[in-house]
Amino acid sequence: METPPKSGIAEMHITNTWVPNKIEQELRNSILINAALSLAAFFVTVKMIPVASRYVLRRNLFGYDINKKGTPQGTIKVPESLGIVVGIVFLVFSILFQYFNFTADSNWLVEYNAALASICFMVLLGFVDDVLDGECEYPEINTAINCSFTSADGLCWTYNYYHTKASCSICWATGLGSRFAIVKPKESGWMYKLYMGLLAVFCTNSINIHAGLNGLEVGQTVVIASAILIHNIMQIGASVDFEYKMAHAFSIYLAQPLLATSLALFSYNWYPSSAFVGDTYTYFAGMTMAVVGILGHFSYGFLHRQFSYSENFLYTWNLHSCMCRRIWWNFLVFHCAVFGTYVETLLIFFLPQVLNFLLSLPQLAGIIPCPRHRLPRFDPETGLLTGTNDGTLVNLFLRQFGRMTEKKLCVYLLVFQALACCFCFLLRYFLAGWYK
What digits encode the pLDDT tens for the residues 132-167?
874 544 444 444 455 555 545 555 555 555 555 444
Lowest mean pLDDT among 179-188, 260-269, 337-346: 179-188
- Banded pLDDT at 241 (limits 50, 70, 90): confident
Q: Supply the pLDDT for residue 345.
A: 82
Task: Work out whether the CA dihedral 425, 430, 432, 436 comes out positive or negative.
Answer: positive
As a whole number, mean pLDDT of residues 324-331 equals 54
Q: Is residue 392 left, alpha or beta, with left meaning phi > 0 and alpha meaning psi from -120 to 50?
A: beta
Pairwise CA distance, residues 29 & 302, whole Å: 25
Pairwise CA distance, residues 276 & 413, whole Å: 19
Q: Is residue 405 part of a domain?
A: no
As a whole number, mean pLDDT of residues 12-35 equals 69
Q: Is residue 226 part of a domain?
A: yes
Q: Is residue 259 part of a domain?
A: yes
Pairwise CA distance, residues 434 & 436, whole Å: 6
Q: Supply the pLDDT for residue 22.
A: 56
Q: Supply the pLDDT for residue 244.
A: 81
pLDDT at 93 over 80: yes
Which range of residues forms the domain containing residue 264? Answer: 21-208+216-300
Instruction: Specify which residues 384 forms β-bridges with.
Output: 379
pLDDT at 215 over 70: yes
Half-sphere exposure of 1 (CA within 13 A, CB side): 1
Name the more confident of 201 and 96.
Answer: 96
Pairwise CA distance, residues 298 & 286, whole Å: 20
Nearest to 346 by CA among 413, 295, 300: 295
Mapping DSSP to helix (H, G, I), strand (E, B) and coil, where does residue 102 land? coil
Q: Is residue 283 left, alpha or beta, with left meaning phi > 0 and alpha meaning psi from -120 to 50?
A: alpha
Percent of the chain having pLDDT more than 70? 68
As a whole number, mean pLDDT of residues 30-56 equals 96
Most confident option among 32-36, 120-124, 171-175: 32-36
Amino acid at 320: H
pLDDT at 298 over 50: no
The total of structural domains in the chain comes to: 1
184 — phi, psi (to 5°)?
-105, 120
Q: Is residue 350 part of a domain?
A: no
- Banded pLDDT at 325 (limits 50, 70, 90): low
Give the chain's length. Answer: 436
Q: Is residue 369 left, alpha or beta, with left meaning phi > 0 and alpha meaning psi from -120 to 50?
A: beta
Q: Is residue 43 part of a domain?
A: yes
pLDDT at 3 over 60: no
- Are 407 and 369 in contact by the 8 Å Cβ rule? The answer is no
What digits encode the pLDDT tens for the residues 365-393?
888 888 878 899 999 999 999 999 899 99
Q: Supply the pLDDT for residue 194.
A: 74
Q: Is residue 254 part of a domain?
A: yes
Pairwise CA distance, residues 347 & 352, whole Å: 10
Pairwise CA distance, residues 98 & 205, whole Å: 29
Q: Is residue 243 part of a domain?
A: yes
Q: Supply the pLDDT for residue 18.
A: 44
- Banded pLDDT at 175 (limits 50, 70, 90): very low
Q: Is residue 415 part of a domain?
A: no
35 — phi, psi (to 5°)?
-65, -40
Amino acid at 429: Y
Q: Supply the pLDDT for residue 108.
A: 82
Q: Supply the pLDDT for residue 276.
A: 95
Lowest mean pLDDT among 16-25, 37-46, 199-208: 16-25
- Banded pLDDT at 415 (limits 50, 70, 90): very high
Q: Supply the pLDDT for residue 109.
A: 86
Q: Supply the pLDDT for residue 132.
A: 81
45-81 burial, b if ≥16 CB within 10 A, otherwise e? bbebbeebbeebeeeebbeebebbeeeeeeeeebbbb
- Banded pLDDT at 338 (limits 50, 70, 90): very low
Assessment of whether the complete model's pTM goes beyond 0.95: no
